[in-house]
Structure 1
Amino acid sequence: MTCQKTSHNFTKIVFKPLHTNLFNIVLISFFLTIGCGKLYSQEIKNQKKPLPAGKQTDKQVNIATDTIKLDTVKPKKTFLDGKVRYKAKDYAKIDQKNKLITLYNEAELYYKDVELKSGIIILNYEKDEVYAGRIKDSAGVLVQYPNFKQAENEVQPDSIRFNFKTQRALIYNSRTKQGELNIKAAVTKKENDSTYFLKGARITTATDIDNPEYYFRTSKIKFVPGKKIVTGLTQMVIADVPTPLALPYGFFPLSKEKSVSGIIVPSYNDSNTRGFSLQNGGYYFALSDNYDLTVLGDYYTNGSYAMRFESAYATRYKYRGNVNIRFENLINSERGYPDYSKENIYNIQWSHSKDTKSNPNSTFSASVNMGSSKYFKRSINQANIGSNLNNTLSSSISYNKTFNTIPGSRISLTATHQQNTQTEDIIMTLPALQGSIDRIYPFVGKNGTKKGLIKNINLQYNVSGKNYFKTKDSLFFKPQMFNDAQLGMQQTIPISTNFKIFKYFSAGASTTYQETWVNKTVAKDYSAEKGEVDTKTVNGFDAFRTYNFSTNLGTTIYGTFNFGEDKKIQAIRHVMRPSITYSYTPSFERYYDNYTLDASGRITGQYTRFENSIFGQPSKDNSNIVGFSLSNTFEAKVRDQDSTKTEPKKIMLLNNLNFNTSYNFNADGKTVLGWSPVLISGGTQFFDNKLNMNFGATLDPYAIDNSGTRINKYNIDNGGSLFRMTSANVTLNYSFSNKGDNKEKNSQSQRNGGRNDDLFGTNTDLNDSRNSQFANEPDREEDVITEFFNSKIPWDMTLAYSLTYQNVNRESKISGNSLMVSVNMDITPKWKGGVSTGYDFVQQGVTFTQFRFERDLLSWRMAFNYQPLGTNSNWNFFIGIKSGMLSDIKWNKRSVSNR
């Protein structure tokens, strides 16, 4: 008999017949004493032929080989056919008799795809079951909750029983996370790898599953990981208070993909002029991993309705973009009432960007914002004041291609759109063609150097074509718009050179030849029937050719004023760049014709048939102009406040200070005066570039008569000063914050045509109110409030001031004087507030004002925006769950002005 490891099977000890001598009697008595129990011995493997009993030795006996009779019953094979790994902090106890392995304190067990961690784990390898539960610490508190993980599914219960063979489990007070959902159930029964049944469960998106802000309580759940959750009677509970919101059953789709298709539940609202409504209801289509589609609609009981189609698409390393199409049929009041009105408005937005890495020789981009001029003022689903105050909508779609030729060449196709929302004028090119060939130096030497007048001579070739439309909002994309289209092409060949004069002067000369083709011209003549000059459009190809010549001379002058190294301001550096330009364009009078102005035929006028051409018209009079310009920059060297630094600090005093004017040698002194006004412009920054200041002024050397018309007499000779200031302006923009430069831009407002800051308020797109200032912030710790009030309150402020002076006709008045301010502040760690307002000192009234408040309710968000003044006054209140999966659980109440 030998003592073996605890994992070995049991056998009985059998002895050979004994001789009757004293030694054998004592020996048999000893073994009879201990032989009545069961001892551990080594398992005997089945042999094809057992060893003969007579040939056995005592050594073989000690190996525990039963030589009398072999066990013909095969041992039961356990189910655990894989490798089991386990460990525990206190002990790992093996009970071979009961087939149990007990692990205690920080116990871990690993078998195939199962990972189990708990305070205590008991493995019954005869029944192929494992049990895990909590243990008590020294204070009697239950700790070390089980953590059961199989494949990608994970659960944290109070206790669990799991059968490896059947894959079934019984779980008590389980806690599991599926995507954004946290699920806790009193009892969970695991049928197999793909199906769970839960009893007494709660579902929430709150972080703390044991003490959530809200949850959905249900008596029973069928749960298929990664696919769906189907519930019975489900009731919503907020702050442990049951609400009357209940459904007979619930369905929560689960998917490993980023998004799944589903219904978007509409919100209820009411309006004084349109009746009751259901808004922002529709369907989300997760078409593929590369693109999706959202279809939303609104309906009012007075007949108004709206449709919106929104799609985002992207392909990694190639392109990305989004498309928004919005249409609204608006009916105000009821038919028969004096305030009844009906109109259709729409808006189309498209943005597209291409990754340059996909093809460096070609690019494609799009930024489209077009539609009804009154869309942002009348829309029932937009409350964007910044977009309302903007008067221009613009679009651009472009494709550029570069050809690797010698010389290099490139081509671009663009479509542009400019729309004035006040006048409802639309100017569009569809398309515009631009082509060019790089500069060619025909006289460059063999060594490639380009020095001197001759070697620097170069020429280019440029071609431009347009299909031009100018129409009104009401005629947009209607037949008349296409009938009035103008088509033209212009070819340009510029020839230029540059060279040095006396080392310090840079000179240049250029001449340009242009040829312009058009498909429409005009013809003018007196109409006896109408009694006025009649202008007719002539369809057909026509062309005109022009050329001009220009030269320039400039230099750079540096000046430094030293005040001494012991001074705070050690030196000021002044850089001047004066330049003089002369340009000459001859008269192209041959393209002008005479026409009769009255019935007598004696009064005639001149016109060109290329009048109002898309590329302009040839000049009638020759142009002989010399221009003067002077640009200045001022920079200071100051002693650094840091005494450890030896080098002075450079500060920019004036980024630019520019003077521009010109003189026309062909001025007749009556209709055209020689000198043009002096234009002054400049700009600089202060306070570490946080304050931007720009200014400008117009100085006219000529006097005016009593009617305000400029006369050929200098102002100083008319009893005035050397120059007469006709206009001036200054603008200041100051942004400062105590939380860094990570202030978010109002990108949606900018895309709609408004500003990218919040001086005119933040954009409120009422079809998606889940955007939050808290969205990208990390989860806050419990002690953040204590830390918060021991430190500074985060805030940011933007100021904008504008002052305009006007004195064109001796009125000498301030035509504009306004101040705008926007302030945002983290009032508490969970409260954010903001205000945008302004004051017009000329009109003496408050300008646009908006109040903003937002509350972070952990898994919920609450927001309130209020615009109290003007025709666009409105308010909007929103509260809803942050999670995208449960975004339909919200309440939105608003009051939109009758626009």
Structure 2
Amino acid sequence: MTRHKTSHIFTKIALKPLNTNLFNIVLLSIFLTIGSCKIYSQDIKNKTTAIPAKNQKVRTGSIPENTSKSTAKKETDTIKKDSVKIKVFLDGKVKYKSEDYARIDQKKKLITLYNKAELYYQDIELKSGIIVLDYEKNEVYAGRIKDSTGTYTQYPNFKQGANVIEPDSIRFNFKTKKALIWNSRTDQGEFKVKASISKKENDSVYFLKGARFTTSKDIDNPEYYFQTSKVKFIPGKKVVTGLTNMVIANVPTPIALPFAFFPMSKETSVSGILLPTYNDSNTRGFSLQNGGYYFALSDHYDLTVLGDYYTNGSYALRFESSYGKRYSYRGNINVRFENLINSERGYPDYSKQNIYNIQWSHAKDSKGSPNSSFSASVNLGSSKYYKQSINQANVGSNLNNTLSSSVSYSKTFNGTVGSRLAVSATHSQNTQTSEINLTLPDLQYSVDRLYPFVGKDGVKKGFFKNINLQYNLSGKNSFVTTDSLFFKPEMFNNAKVGVQQSIPISTNFKLFKYFSVSTAMNYEEVWYLKTIRRGYDTDQSKVIDKTVNGFDAFRTYNFSSSLGTTIYGTFNFGKNKKIKSIRHVMRPSVSYSYTPSFEKYYDTYATDASGTITKDYTRFEGGIFSSPGKTNSNILGFDLSNTFEAKVTDKDSTKVEAKKIMLLNNLNFSTSYDINANGITSLAWAPVRVSGGTQLFNNKMNINFATTLDPYAIDNSGTRINVYNINNGGSLFRMTSSNVTLNYSISSKDMEAKKKDKNQQSQRNGGRDDDLFGRNTIDTARGKSQFDEEEDSGEDKITEFFASILPWDMTFAYSLTYGNNNRENKITGNSIMISANADLTPKWKAGVSTGYDFVQNGVTYTQLRFERDLLSWRMDFNWQPFGTQSNWSFFIGIKSGVLSDIKYDKRSASKR
């Protein structure tokens, strides 16, 4: 339709006023009115039948990258895929889809996706209830939608790389990579971050307004959080904030900082400062404990440096390092040093001393090198370390009297004749006497067994074909010293060096089908670099030993044989009886050993100045591999082991087979007879040793017992005499000692698997691996729970808790020792120990370790412990009320390792 200018029309009317025509004027006015407007035409869509909801298809489509033509394709309800070519300048292809519809507005340059909408572009994934793409501005908008009840659902999920944000709504620009986010929620390591408004500056920097940070599982209703108004957030690295205030239970606290820094590294560990805790002591003044720095040196090893300082000058340093390489090795090293000062300089009770402790644990993975191994378990240092340390609360170590270490390397050489080499160093230290026994090195080399008479078929059967021999070599360098002389020149002056070689030859065979016979001969040769010369010194008026340096050797041999069999006996009580049968297995054996006298290695020395009285001695006396014997040994040994097993009717009536139960795991008798005994200086029969053990109550109770029965009587001085006890007015045997131990573990559930190795540090320090001596509390300051924690303590767990019995577990131990070696006839040991743990409520745990010594009439080491699960926080209290080590400790802090320094840790001053 043609458009006319209104000015032309009005001119024509003015020139012809007299020729008016009403009809023409009205008609002309209509046309002029229509002609003054812009008129558009459009195609009317054909009506179609609506597709039911259940048959609707998911709308998908894509926008090609860098296109210039502007075309549009008609959309109908039956379209499966849209391809819209529009003028955009994106660097990649945009893919999208939705469940309800994908509407394209060509006029506004918008694509609207509704219901379960998804959009993908480069490393960006966006999922939401509704997504609007503005392809002219290169922006996308996403938000939630309401369901039929009016509740908001399908919150946006924005993922770029590894970072995920879940806001209420988001606006994002594809070109600048900037975004504006409302009520964003994101996880960064152990942190959960929520902000009212977030501005994404680029791929690595966010600015937040009205943000909160927490480690709570529920970001919308946390138990605590840090509230701040302005934040610079670098995902995976750090958060820098302005004024930050701590809020607990939605109540602001006075705890505030003008600025704050939160590390958010995604690495397994990051370096950082370990804040100290404040404490006070009656003897050393105020202190700062457990402060230091953690160095995350690499993926394979780290280093923790900790220190304590007291105002009286005492201080402590600790270096802890863990290392490991997958399929190769793993281990850790702890070095502790303390400078202890008591009282003040000038006072009579002033003292100063240095104590230290070194621990090293190493294990090699057999997968890395199957033919060699290396392991280490070291615990050495000052004997009084655990009793005097100012920052050590390991109960098991305080009660232990021995420290031990072992470092070993072994290698197997494969070949026609295989061999094995092992080199080790061992250490044993008595913390009461301060005596140290150190072997460095201990060399062991052995060649595999050789069967010289075996046939080509390789069958080893019979006396001759079973004859085999070996070669063993052992070399040792041993030291006996004390704490004060450890690794000083005096220690090496008293070293004992020796080499022992042996060639054992043995065979075994069957005799009369039912008897097993084994026979062995052993040849030994011992080399020493030091021997002694003993004699009477007239200047000192006493017998002295002089050390003789130089190579010397002695050679010995011995013979042994044993004969044994197995006897089975079954006692049937009938099929209808509750106890159907009892099976008794006996394994009797008789052994014989012979060692000749090696008098040629013995000399004599005078015991006084006159030289009339002499005694025999050997120059090899005191050697590391002992010395040759002078007495001809001819010993017969007798052993009998028994096991008792029963078959009983199973309580489960559906089971056809009888149930097997063990009555006695073992019941052993052993003694020996000396054929060469003359009845005056030596007695023929050795005491009878009886030992046994069993398990009861579904293997929860272990019972072990042992006793020693002596057939000979004693005189008034307590010396054994060649008179049988029954001929001296007594019984057949005289019980000289006896002991019985019971261990019983019960629980509301089967917790045996959980209880294993739960006190590893205590065991490593030399204590027990259970709770009977209490639990290690030194780790409390580092946020480690003393109780077995379980995850997901939610409503389901609480409901289950109250629907069942109170969860608990208990370990019980009892020991009784009887002594009558010199007719004292008394109980030398009688004690009971108990450790129990219980869940008082779903969030409260309590435990106790205690005992009573009936001989000393006193309570043994006692520990009370309580713990409260505060969701993101943890609180515990430990108390040792009795003894010289009595103390208490209280701890409350955040569980998360990132905020482990936010805590309150208070310990009482130890009495030691």
1:70 aligns with none
Deviations 1:591-629 (A, max 9, x none): 111111112221112211111111011111111111111
- Which of 876, 891, 894 is the aligned partner of 2:889? 876
In 2, the alpha carbon distance for the partners of 1:769 and 1:226 equals: 24
Q: Distance in 1 between matches of 2:93 and 2:679?
A: 106
Residue from 429, 435, 443 that aligns with 1:425: 435
- The answer for the alignment partner of 1:841 in structure 2 is 854
- 1:665 and 1:674 in contact (8 A); partners too: yes
Which of 834, 838, 844 is the aligned partner of 1:825? Answer: 838
Tell which deviates more after alignment, 388-397 or 231-240: 231-240
Q: Does 1:497 align with 2:512?
A: no
Matched, 1:743 2:743: no
> Equivalent of 1:269, from 259, 279, 284?
279
Question: What is the 5 A alignment of 1:605-644?
Answer: 605-644=615-654
Secondary structure of the residue aligned to 2:754 is coil
Indicate conservation of the 8 Å contact 1:522/1:536, yes or no.
Answer: yes
Partner of 2:723: 713
Q: Tell me the distance in 1 between the aligned counterparts of 2:188 and 2:865.
A: 35
> What's the counterpart of residue 581 of structure 1?
591
CA contact (8 A) 2:87 2:136 kept: no
**Aligned residues of 2:499 and 2:526 also touching (Cα < 8 A):** yes
> Which segment is superposed worse, 482-491 or 86-95?
86-95
Contact 1:380 1:896 in 2 (8 A): no
CA distance in 2, matches of 1:148, 1:122: 14
1:381–1:767 CA contact under 8 A, matched in 2: no
SS of match in other structure, 2:474: strand
- Deviation string for 1:762-811 (max 9, x for gaps)? 01125743112577522222343233111122211101011111111112
For residue 777 of structure 2, what is the aligned residue in structure 1?
Answer: 764
**2:449 aligned residue:** 439
Shift of residue 32 of structure 1? 9.9
Matched AA of 1:822? S
Aligned to 1:854: 867
The alpha-carbon distance between structure 1 residues 773 and 119, as it changes in their structure 2 partners (threshold 3 A), is: farther
Secondary structure (helix, strand or coil) at the match of 1:655 reads strand
2:781–2:891: 8 Å Cα contact kept in structure 1? no
Report whether the alignment pairs 1:888 with 2:901: yes
Match among 354, 371, 376 for residue 361 of structure 1: 371
The CA RMSD over aligned residues, in Å, is 2.3
In 1: Cα distance, 2:86 partner to 2:109 partner: 12
Letter aligned with residue 903 of structure 2: K
Higher mean displacement: 243-252 or 802-811: 243-252
Q: 1:526: Cα distance to partner?
A: 1.2
Q: TM-score, normalised by structure 1?
A: 0.91
1:314 pairs with 2:291: no
1:318-343 CA-partner distances (Å, limit 9, x unpaired): 11111111111111222233433221
Give the one of 33, 37, 40 matched to 1:37: 40
Mapped to 2, the partners of 1:356 and 1:38 lie a distance apart of: 84
Q: Does 2:660 correspond to 1:653?
A: no
CA distance, structure 1, for counterparts of residue 431 and residue 886 of structure 2: 20
- For 2:472 and 2:317, the matched residues in 1 are separated by 45
Displacement of 1:38: 5.3
Instruction: Verify the 8 A CA contact 1:395 1:416 in the aligned structure 2.
Output: yes
The answer to whether structure 1 residue 287 and structure 2 residue 297 are counterparts is yes
Question: Does the Cα contact within 8 Å between 2:420 and 2:447 map onto a contact in 1?
Answer: yes
Q: Does 1:536 align with 2:546?
A: yes
Deviation at 1:879, TM superposition (A): 1.1
Could you tell me whether the CA contact under 8 Å between 1:532 and 1:598 is conserved in 2? Answer: yes
Q: Does 1:207 align with 2:207?
A: no
**What residue in structure 2 maps to residue 230 of structure 1?**
240
8 Å CA contact 1:806, 1:813 repeated in 2: yes
1:451 Cα offset (Å): 2.1
Residue 553 (str. 1) matches residue 566 (str. 2): no
Deviation at 1:151, TM superposition (A): 1.7
Could you give the per-residue CA deviations for residues 494-534 of structure 1, whole angstroms, max 9, x where no partner exists?
Answer: 11112222221111221111100111112211122222111
Secondary structure (helix, strand or coil) at the match of 2:490 reads helix
Please state how far the C-alpha of 1:557 moved relative to its aligned partner.
1.1
Between the aligned residues of both structures, percent identity stands at 72
> 2:395 aligned to 385, 391, 411, which one?
385
Q: Deviation of residue 35 (structure 1)?
A: 8.6
Contact persistence 1:625–1:663 (CA under 8 A)? yes
What CA distance in whole angstroms lies between the structure 2 residues aligned with 1:38 and 1:692?
98
User: Given the superposition, is the C-alpha separation of residues 775 and 195 from structure 1 closer, same or farther in structure 2, using an over 3 Å criterion?
Assistant: farther
Question: Given that residues 775 and 786 in structure 2 are in contact (C-alpha distance below 8 angstroms), is that contact kept between their aligned partners in structure 1?
Answer: no
State the shift of 1:86 in Å. Answer: 3.0
| Structure 1 position 539, deviation (Å) | 2.0
**Distance across 2 between alignment mates of 1:324 and 1:434:** 29
Structure 2 partner of 1:795: 808
SS of the residue corresponding to residue 753 of structure 2 reads coil
- CA distance, structure 1, for counterparts of residue 891 and residue 308 of structure 2: 18
1:406 aligned to 406, 411, 416, which one? 416
Contact 1:381–1:766 (Cα < 8 Å) also in 2: no
Whether the 8 Å CA contact 2:474–2:499 is kept in 1: the answer is: yes
Provide the C-alpha distance between the structure 2 equivalents of 1:76 and 1:664, rounded to a whole number of angstroms.
Answer: 109
Indicate the residue corresponding to 2:65 in structure 1.
none
Q: Distance in 1 between the 2:337 and 2:801 partners?
A: 46
Give, as a single letter, the amino acid of the residue that structure 1 aligns with 2:773: F
The answer on whether the counterparts of 2:403 and 2:428 sit within 8 Å (CA) in structure 1 is yes
Structure 1 residue 90: Cα displacement: 4.1
Counterpart-to-counterpart distance in 1, 2:444 and 2:35: 112
Q: Partner residue of 1:299?
A: 309
Task: Tell me, in whole angstroms, the C-alpha distance in 1 between the residues paired with 2:104 and 2:215.
Answer: 42
- Counterparts of 2:391 and 2:637 in 1: how far apart (Å)? 53
**The residue matched to 2:856 in structure 1 has which SS?**
coil
Give the Cα–Cα distance (whole angstroms) in 1 for the partners of residues 788 and 520 of structure 2. Answer: 57
The Cα of 1:33 is off from its aligned counterpart by: 13
Which stretch shifts more, 758-767 or 795-804? Answer: 758-767
Greater CA deviation, 333-342 or 196-205? 333-342
1:814 aligned partner:
827
CA distance in 2, matches of 1:653, 1:739: 25
Deviations along 1:554-578, one digit per CA (max 9) or x if unpaired, are 1111111111111111111111111
Matched, 1:135 2:145: yes
Q: CA deviation at 1:723?
A: 0.5
Structure 2: distance between partners of 1:860 and 1:152: 28
Report if aligned partners of 2:780, 2:786 keep a CA contact under 8 Å in 1: no
The residue aligned with 1:703 is 713
Indicate if the aligned counterparts of 1:262 and 1:283 stay in contact, CA closer than 8 A. Answer: yes
1:327: which partner in 2? 337
Once the two structures are TM-superposed, the CA of residue 746 in structure 1 deviates from its matched residue by 1.0
CA drift at 1:345? 1.1
Contact 2:886 2:911 in 1 (8 A): no
TM-score, scaled relative to structure 2: 0.89
Alignment partners' CA distance in 1, 2:779 and 2:121: 53
Single out whichever of 685-694 and 333-342 deviates more from structure 2.
333-342
Residue 402 of structure 2 aligns to which amino acid in structure 1?
T
Give distance in 1, aligned partners of 2:486 and 2:700.
43
- Identify which range, 698-707 or 505-514, moves more after superposition: 505-514
Deviations 1:57-79 (A, max 9, x none): xxxxxx99xxxxxxxxxx99323
Report the number of matched residues. 842
Q: Distance in 2 between matches of 1:201 and 1:323?
A: 42
Shift of 1:753: 0.4
Unaligned runs of 5+ in 2: 4-30, 45-72, 75-84
Asked if the contact 1:516/1:543 (under 8 Å) is kept, the reply is yes
Does residue 1:691 correspond to 2:701, yes or no? yes
1:475-500 C-alpha deviation (Å, 9 max, x unpaired):
11111111111111000011111222
Distance in 2, Cα, partners of 1:742 & 1:556 = 35
Partners in 2 of 1:533 and 1:636 — Cα distance?
64
Which consecutive residues of structure 1, in runs of 5 or more, have no partner in the other structure? Answer: 1-11, 13-27, 42-62, 65-74
